[in-house]
């Protein structure tokens, strides 16, 4: 079902770029409500390390798909697509403007272009059962390396933090004999909504400096205690919540094998690399993008003008 009658503003952008401030300004200006498209902010108790918006920062603007899943459970792009599309319809029915905000490229793409993430039959296929057994035995890095050999373009697009996607890519390759990236490239992208898509960006060094400083702020805010409380629950280290940047780097430190400074530097480096991958995804995978340099002093006014025109033309 295509909902082209629904206006949707999308704010994508790399981690640390500053999506929150603009989302609140647009929501207040256009009577909007925010749908989060962040694969880690869905988890409860993962607050500091995910940069989750605080209640007072929301300024009364309703937010959806934050704190909806316990961290000992999994949440994926297929579930997000369903929940996100329903949230957008609900906001539209209330007469408000839905604003989709986040950096998880697969979540954004799946929702906007209604991508399929595999059906019930694929879940129980013999090939996938075999791959899951290999995952238990060899680990996700070994499976990613195999994907990199068979389909390097797909491997470049799929992070180690997304084991379900890695398994799906290998399953497609083994069952069809075709590269997963071919399916990704040729899948028709018909927008589900009438959307206006911003990608927020900054000069690279400025973005990296912000990311480094943001990690230090997370440390000051108590990230170590937040992560330690998760580890004390003895959760499976392969759970998505435990493999996110800002969380996965702590185990050697808790075991006395690394210093706090090493952990901080690893989180900073992983965050910078993730930001680079995000920008590559937006350039290669998203259509009709309006790039917005948020280092410019008038970027909020610029965005408001563009959204006003978008709504007027609709």
Q: Where is the binding site, in residues?
A: 13-20
Question: In this structure, what token pair is assigned to residue 296?
Answer: 């410019």
12 three-state secondary structure: strand
193 three-state secondary structure: strand
Binding-site positions for ATP:
13-20
Binding-site positions for substrate:
15-20
Scanning the structure block, which residue is given the tokens 């400074």? 261
First to last CA, the chain: 19
**14, 275 Cβ separation under 8 angstroms:** yes
Task: Tell me the H-state helices in the chain.
Answer: 19-30, 77-93, 105-113, 120-123, 126-138, 140-150, 152-157, 163-176, 180-186, 204-221, 223-231, 240-243, 251-254, 260-285, 299-313
Please, how many CA atoms are within 13 Å of residue 75, restricted to the half-sphere of its CB?
26
Q: Give me the phi and psi of 62, to 5 degrees please.
A: -60, 140
């Amino acid at each position: 079902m295509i909902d082209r009658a629904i206006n949707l503003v999308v704010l994508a952008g790399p981690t640390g770029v500053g999506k929150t401030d603009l989302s609140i300004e647009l929501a207040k200006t256009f009577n909007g409500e925010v749908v989060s498209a962040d694969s880690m902010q869905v988890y409860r108790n993962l607050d500091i390390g995910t940069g989750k918006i605080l209640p007072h920062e929301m300024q009364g603007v309703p937010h959806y798909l934050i704190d909806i899943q316990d961290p000992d459970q999994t949440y994926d792009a297929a579930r997000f697509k369903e929940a996100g599309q329903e949230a957008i319809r609900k906001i539209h029915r209330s007469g408000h403007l839905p604003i989709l905000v986040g950096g998880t490229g697969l979540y954004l793409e799946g929702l906007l272009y209604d991508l399929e993430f595999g059906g019930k039959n694929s879940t129980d296929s013999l090939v996938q059962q075999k791959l899951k057994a290999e995952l238990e035995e060899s680990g996700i890095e070994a499976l990613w390396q195999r994907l990199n050999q068979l389909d390097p373009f797909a491997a470049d697009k799929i992070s180690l933090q997304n084991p379900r996607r890695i398994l799906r890519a290998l399953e497609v390759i083994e069952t069809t004999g075709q590269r997963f990236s071919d399916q990704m490239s040729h899948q028709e992208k018909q927008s589900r909504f009438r959307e206006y898509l911003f990608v927020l960006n900054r000069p690279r060094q400025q973005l990296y400096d912000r990311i480094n400083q943001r990690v230090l702020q997370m440390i000051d805010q108590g990230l170590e205690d937040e992560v330690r409380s998760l580890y004390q629950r003895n959760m499976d280290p392969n759970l998505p919540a435990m493999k996110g940047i800002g969380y996965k780097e702590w185990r050697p430190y808790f075991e006395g094998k690394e210093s706090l400074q090493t952990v901080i530097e690893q989180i900073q480096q992983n965050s910078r690399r993730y930001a680079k991958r995000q920008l590559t995804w937006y350039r290669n995978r998203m259509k009709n993008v309006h790039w917005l340099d948020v280092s410019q002093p008038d970027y909020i006014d610029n965005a408001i003008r563009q959204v006003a025109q978008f709504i007027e033309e609709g």
